[in-house]
Structure 1
Amino acid sequence: MKRFLIYIVKIFLITVLIAFILDGLYTYIFLQSHNRGKIEQVFNSNAQKYDVVILGSSRANNHFVPQIFEKRGLKTFNYGMSGGHLFEASLMLKLMIERKYEIKNVILEADLNLSNDHQSEGVSAKFLPYIHNSEIIKNHFFNEKDFNELYYIPFYRYIKYDNKIGFREVCKIIRDDKTNSLDNSGYYPLQKHKNGNMKNNIVNLNPLKHNKYYEEIEKLCKIHNINFIAIMTPMCENVKGMNYFEKVQKLYPEIYNYENVVKEDKYFSSCGHMNDAGAKIFTAKIVTDFFKK
């Protein structure tokens, strides 16, 4: 029995050692990554200067065309992340500030994502390789229910989110495989699809009275003298519950409502996302209204 217990202890210690080694190896590899996505590009970058930084979800990623800003001489990058929430947008801005980015204007897509203050696990997982290398990331995740497991158990985060930061992603970093997330200065253009869903129902959606991460972004901009522009972006015509945008306006009167700037379905890829043609019309309107010469 004693020999059996000793054997079990040895197996446990070897497993823990391997977990520590793999954790360190994976983290080292992620620290070398620069061209796989927006999060690692920011984390592993030095100070940058931008006239305009765009933050938000896919409704930022697919709706703001940096090239139109740049025609006005405004250096711009779209850091919108598909599937992301304000949890991730706030953390991105914190990392930029930590890296001494000089930012004159932040445009935040703030509409549907005001209805929650949760993390988007599929997006937030991409910050986790750096959780031991950044107090900013550690503190941002500190109140999440699984923080202790993610922070203290070696290699746990890589196993739990294997489809995002696991073995396959590590191999792609080693091979220096690029993605398209950094193309077009971060903007991802959509096309008109024949089978695009042109109906949506947001009747039961309600903005939070106090969205923690929206307020964080607003406060960070004020502290660091960044002009903060929060915008609601368009949806297609066949949406039930469009009074959601009025609810947002009542709770957050400082947010500009551009929901009805683009209306026709021909300018949408799906009900919640404009295609490239619609995005260009929308962006041109934003640039004209906020960045007059």
Structure 2
Amino acid sequence: MQKFLLFTLKTLILTIVIAVVLDFIYTAVYLQSSNRGKIDHVYNSKNENFDVVILGSSRANNHFVAQMFEDKGLKTFNYGMSGGHLFEASLLLKLMIERDYKIKNVILEADLNLSNKHRDYGISSKFLPYLHQSKTVKKHFSNEDDFLELYYVPFYRYIKFDERIGFREFYDTALKKATSILDHQGYYPLGKKPNANMKNNIVNLKPLVHNQYYEEIKQICKDNKINFIAVMTPMCENTKGINYFEKVQKLYPEIHNYENVVVEDKYFSSCGHLNDTGARKFTKTVIHDFFK
């Protein structure tokens, strides 16, 4: 029995040591990365200057053509993240401030994600390699249900989110393999899909009366003298529950409703996402309204 307990103790100690070593190695690699995605790009940069920073989900990533702002002499980057929620948008902006970014205008796509205050597990995991290095990241995650194990159990976060920050991503990051995510100043153009479903149902979506992360973004902009522009972006005509956008407008009158500025299906790649032609039409309107 004594031998068994000793063996168990040694195995436990060895497992902990291996986990600590692996955690150190993985984190060290991610701390050197800046060309895999928008989160590592921001974390491993400093003192950037932008006239326009765009934040939001895929409906920002696919809808704002950053080059069109650049053509107007406005240094711009689209930091919209497909799958991301306001949890991630808020944290990304906090990291920019932590990294001494100078920003004149923030355009936030704020529509469907106003209906929840949860993090996206996939996108949010991209911040986790910096959990111990950044006070901003630590504080932002501190109220999450799994914070204690993510923060205190070595290597646990890399195992739990293996698909996002596990061995494959670690390997590609170590080899400094670039992705296309940072191309086109962060804008990701979509093409036309002949058989795309041009119907959607958002009847069950309800904007929250108080969305913590939306309010955080507003406050960050106020504190740092950044002009805050919140907008709702287009959705296809055959959407049930389209009055969701009116509900948002009533709760948040400062959010500009652009849901119906592009309406024809020919401008959409899917019901909730404009194709490149539609995105250019939409972006032209936004630039005219706010930067003419």
TM surpasses 0.5: yes
Alignment of 1:88-99 (within 5 A): 88-99=88-99
- The 3-state SS of whatever aligns with 2:72 is coil
Tell me how far apart the structure 2 counterparts of residues 169 and 215 of structure 1 sit (CA, whole Å).
33
Look up the equivalent residue of 2:284 and give its one-letter code: A
Which runs of structure 1 show a deviation greater than 4 angstroms over 4 or more consecutive aligned residues?
none
- 1:247 positional shift: 0.2
Residue 161 in structure 1 maps to residue 164 in structure 2: no
1:143 — aligned with what? 143
Look up the equivalent residue of 1:193 and give its one-letter code: K
- The 3-state SS of whatever aligns with 2:17 is helix
- 1:46 positional shift: 1.2
- Segments of structure 1 that go 5 or more residues without pairing to the other structure are none
2:284 — aligned with what? 284
1:2 — aligned with what? 2
- 1:32 positional shift: 0.6
- 1:156 positional shift: 0.2
- 1:4 positional shift: 1.1
- 1:177 positional shift: 1.1
Tell me how far apart the structure 2 counterparts of residues 45 and 193 of structure 1 sit (CA, whole Å).
36
- Which deviates further from its counterpart, 172-181 or 52-61? 172-181
Superimposed CA distance per residue, residues 39-89 of structure 1 (whole angstroms, 9 cap, x where no aligned partner): 000001011000000000000000000111011100000000000000000
Alignment of 1:260-271 (within 5 A): 260-271=260-271
Tell me how far apart the structure 2 counterparts of residues 241 and 145 of structure 1 sit (CA, whole Å).
32
- The 3-state SS of whatever aligns with 2:164 is helix
Residue 183 in structure 1 maps to residue 183 in structure 2: yes
- The 3-state SS of whatever aligns with 1:168 is helix
Alignment of 1:73-222 (within 5 A): 73-222=73-222
- 1:175 positional shift: 1.6
Look up the equivalent residue of 1:114 and give its one-letter code: L
1:239 — aligned with what? 239
Tell me how far apart the structure 2 counterparts of residues 125 and 106 of structure 1 sit (CA, whole Å).
24
Tell me how far apart the structure 1 counterparts of residues 71 and 287 of structure 2 sit (CA, whole Å).
10
- 1:215 positional shift: 0.2
Tell me how far apart the structure 2 counterparts of residues 63 and 25 of structure 1 sit (CA, whole Å).
37
Tell me how far apart the structure 2 counterparts of residues 125 and 71 of structure 1 sit (CA, whole Å).
34
Tell me how far apart the structure 2 counterparts of residues 152 and 243 of structure 1 sit (CA, whole Å).
45
Alignment of 1:10-49 (within 5 A): 10-49=10-49
Look up the equivalent residue of 1:105 and give its one-letter code: N
- Which deviates further from its counterpart, 79-88 or 191-200? 191-200
Superimposed CA distance per residue, residues 231-275 of structure 1 (whole angstroms, 9 cap, x where no aligned partner): 000000100001000000000000000001000000000000000
- Which deviates further from its counterpart, 218-227 or 167-176? 167-176
* TM-score of the pair, normalised by structure 1: 0.99
- 1:171 positional shift: 0.7
- Number of aligned residues: 292
Tell me how far apart the structure 1 counterparts of residues 59 and 238 of structure 2 sit (CA, whole Å).
17
* TM-score of the pair, normalised by structure 2: 1.00
Look up the equivalent residue of 1:96 and give its one-letter code: M
Look up the equivalent residue of 1:65 and give its one-letter code: V
Q: Identity of counterpart residues, as a percentage?
A: 68
Tell me how far apart the structure 2 counterparts of residues 238 and 181 of structure 1 sit (CA, whole Å).
30
Tell me how far apart the structure 1 counterparts of residues 21 and 176 of structure 2 sit (CA, whole Å).
22
- The 3-state SS of whatever aligns with 1:32 is coil
Superimposed CA distance per residue, residues 11-31 of structure 1 (whole angstroms, 9 cap, x where no aligned partner): 000000000000000000000
